[in-house]
Amino acid sequence: MAVILRDVAKKAGVSLTTASMAIRDGKKVSSRTKAKVIKVARELGFRANASAQNLASGRVHTLGVVVQDLRYFGIPYISAIVGGIIEVCDKEGYKIGFARSCKSNAKEEVEYIRLAREGRFDGMIIIDQMAKESEIRQLTEMNIPVVLVDRKIAGMDTPTVRIDYRRVVKEATCHLIGLGHRRIATLPVPSFLFEFKEKLAGYKEALKENMIPYDHDLVKNDLVPGNCAEQTKIMVDKMLALPEPPTAYFCFEVVHTAILCDVLRYLGVSIPEISVIGCELDASSHYGLYSIGAIKIPNHELGVRVCQVMLGMLNDWDSTTDVILNAKFDPKMSCAPPYGM
């Protein structure tokens, strides 16, 4: 069985990142640690792959950017992040290449793993939050530098740049509570994703601090295959039919804000008769006559910082490997006290 970098790190008693930098003769690793890691690598018979050899001798000066599907570049969240990455790469003389995390053929190796194995990239920036943990571990074991966007994986010391969703969602929920809302609903999200777990945690913390019981009828956590607009309409119908219906909605996903506003209009419910908060690319979105309150997410800055972290790893610059950015909440015109108060 081939020896991988994780085996070297474990036996040397260092992190995977430290082992990677030691093998690459990184300046931030002490000579003592470097000698220890190299000694263990030789004892175990570890051999760096082609990409690692490029890093030591002649890099390709290209960063891989991983998305689920290339068609997703039309999504503002992804295009803004990529714009930030391109800005830094242009300044530092790096190229970028795109790779998919989905398989075009079940029998083939996933594209971004194959391209990394071929030494096409100096490092990989993974935007796709649904990329498999086993595949990301594969990259680190191949000695490929990896930085995650808006994601943190338990048990892995992979560098990440992410938004402090828990804090800002808590702030926005507390704003609604301060206006008098006690029945605040959320719409369906992929609850297994790190981003949405953090958003839900912030929502729960706000309720707990204000002694408001958590109601499962108001929190829809999982999407199912099918028409998103139709699912949202059915859920909103059910919520409004509850003995105590919601007086406010918090949309954790950008697309649900537009769908919810259309559904409420279809049902003859006005905003802010029911208050609405969304998670938007910016806080200036308008639906009909209403300027919708939203969390303003700095996606361009996310791209800039993730690229800076990656280049810091490659060039042994002093850089933080777990960057948390702040998002801002702007209530706009769609947040008001519950109707009739």
Residue 227 confidence (pLDDT) = 66
pLDDT confidence bin for 119, thresholds 50/70/90: confident
Which of residues 56 and 233 earns the better pLDDT score? 233
Q: Which class would CATH give 165-298?
A: alpha beta
Q: Boundaries of CATH 3.40.50.2300 in the chain?
A: 60-158, 165-298
Residue 160 confidence (pLDDT) = 93
Q: Which class would CATH give 1-47?
A: mainly alpha
List the CATH code of the domain at 60-158. Answer: 3.40.50.2300
pLDDT tens sequence across 271-309: 888 899 988 644 444 444 457 888 888 999 999 999 999
Q: Boundaries of CATH 1.10.260.40 in the chain?
A: 1-47
Q: Which residues contact 42 (CB under 8 A, 6 or more apart)?
A: none
Residue 326, pLDDT above cutoff 90: yes
Residue 287 confidence (pLDDT) = 47
Residue 203 confidence (pLDDT) = 95
For 230-245, what is the mean pLDDT? Answer: 85
- Omega before residue 145 within 30° of 0, cis: no
Residue 55 confidence (pLDDT) = 43
pLDDT tens sequence across 18-71: 777 777 666 667 888 888 888 888 888 876 655 455 444 446 789 999 988 766
Residue 205 confidence (pLDDT) = 97
Residue 301 confidence (pLDDT) = 94
